[in-house]
Every structure is written in C-alpha cells, then in structure tokens.
Amino acid sequence: MFDYTALDETIGRYIRPDTFPLGIRMLRPEEPVPDGVRQPSRDVGEQWIVCQSIGIARRYGWSIAVGKEDVICPLAAVAFGFRRSNERFDAGEAAIGMYCSDAEPARRLEQATWRFEPLKYERLCVAPLSRMTFEPDVVVVYGNSAQVMRLVNAALHERGGRIESSSGGRLDCAELVIQTMRQNEPKVVLPCNGDRVFGMAQDTEMAFAFPSDRSQEIARGLEATHKGGVRFPIPVAMRRTVTMPPKYQELLASLAEHADAGEVRVRP
C-alpha cells in the first residue's frame, strides 16, 4: 500500500487543514470490514448517514464503515447503491418544495445525481489517512478556498489543463466519492446543506477529492508549487512602504516639526 502517512504529512506541511485528511473506500459485498473500523449500528447503537460519518472521521479521527443498516438518508442510500430506488424517488419527490419548484425540475435534479449501480457496494469505509487499515479509492481534504486552490495547483502541476467539477448543491457525499470514482479525476466540491447540518461543514470550508492513484503526483505537486512560490498561508504583499491617509501624513509632518524644534532648543 502507498505510504498514506507520508501523504498526510505532506498535506499537513503545505496545506495545514483544520481537520484530518481522509481516505474513503467502497467495500463490495464480499469484502470484510477492515480491522479497527467502527460500524455505528453495531458498535455505537446509532445510525449515521454518509456526510455525518465523514464529518466524524475528519473531526474525531475515527475509522467508520456505514451501509444499508446505518444510512437512514434515502438520497445517500440510493446514490451509493445500498438501496434500490423506486418511482417516487426517481420522480424527485424529496426535492419538490425544498430544492425545486415542481415535479419536472425535481425529476431532472434527481436524474442528474451521481449514483453507483444498485447493490454493487455494501459499505462506505472512511478513515484519517494516517490511521487507515485499508487501501482507499478516494482521498478527501476539507479546507478553505485558499487551501483547496493549493490542491488544485498541485493536481495540475504535471498535467496542466483544468479541474472540472459538477455540483447540484446537495448530496456532496456523492460528488466527493461517486463523481471522483466514476470520472477518475480530482474534484472541487461544495459542502451541501446536509453536510453543514449533520457533518458540521463550516461556511468557510470547501472540499477537494482525488483518486488515490494520484496521491504521489499530488504530493509532488504540492512540494513543487510551494517551491515555485505558490504557498499557504498566502504570503501577502506586506514589505513595501504603505501610503497613509492625507490627515495622517499631515500629523506625522507636524510631529517631525515639533521634534526638530525641540532639538534646537535643548542644543548647547
């Protein structure tokens, strides 16, 4: 397995995120839950949805696996393939009145949501990079816009081009994981309303996700762009002589005149 502890250290050195960078793996039905990973319904006696589990993992540092028995959010349960959709779901019933004005835009919004095939995966497994006991499919880092910009810089350092992402303004867990895995490309993701309510994503935060096989490239890109002068914290221009307001300039001149006059009086 790639040294994800080293990646975690590199992200910490050049990005300094407030919460743990994460690895996420989708477990197929035949795959066992890795050692040391909590299953909320089994180990905690609670049911945690996907965005909540991601929030707990990045803030508590826990390793968590959630599946059909845990995820009580119907949107995530269908998107990740833990449950099959039905006519009411596909018609966008959950979006009408909340996200969409009526049935047709709601249906189109639901149709455009990222999904895995039903029952292809049994669980989503998430853990801090430095504590993982599994090989991730996706690496996720939450940060402010400047920190996410630095990750974009790193991702483009050896390839150029642009990072292209798609947002529906909801179900960011699907955009983080499913969008990234299906397109096999890094993504910039806006936290959705659910992530803010249940995952405690802050108004100052965004997220960056990338396929795990790009980890070494991202690490090289962070180091190289840092050496090139694109850094975090951003080194703002503070070294030039600043311009004071006219009244301040007049006051400073009067102070100088007063000091000069005093020096003449006390001179022997």
Going from the C-alpha of 54 to that of each of 19, 82, 123, 254, 265, the distances in angstroms are 11, 17, 13, 60, 73
CA–CA distance, 127 with 63 (Å, rounded to integer): 4
Task: Write down the residue that tokens 């795990």 correspond to.
Answer: 212
Confidence of residue 266 (pLDDT cuts 50, 70, 90): very low
Q: What is the mean pLDDT of residues 121-148?
A: 97
Write phi, then psi, for 231 (nearest 5 degrees).
-130, 165
The partner residues of 141 in beta bridges, in order of sequence, read 208
Q: What is the mean pLDDT of the chain?
A: 94
Per-residue pLDDT tens digits for 225-240: 999 999 999 988 888 8
Q: Which amino acid is at 133?
A: T
* pLDDT tens-digit map of 70-103: 999 999 999 999 999 999 999 999 999 999 999 9
With a pLDDT cut of 70, the percent of the chain lying above it is 97
Is 50 exceeded by the pLDDT of residue 179? Answer: yes
Query: Does residue 55 contact residue 61 with C-beta atoms inside 8 Å?
Result: no
Note the pLDDT of residue 268: 45
192-205: pLDDT as tens digits? 999 999 999 999 99
Supply the Cα-derived Rg of the chain in whole angstroms.
25
Q: 138 phi and psi, to 5 degrees? A: -135, 145
pLDDT at 238: 81
Neighbours of 121 (CB within 10 A): 23
Q: Which of 84, 82, 37 is nearest to 56 (CA)?
A: 37
- State both tokens at 97: 């009145």
C-alpha torsion angle, residues 219, 223, 229, 232 (rounded to 10):
60
Q: How confident is the model at residue 59 (pLDDT cuts 50, 70, 90)?
A: very high
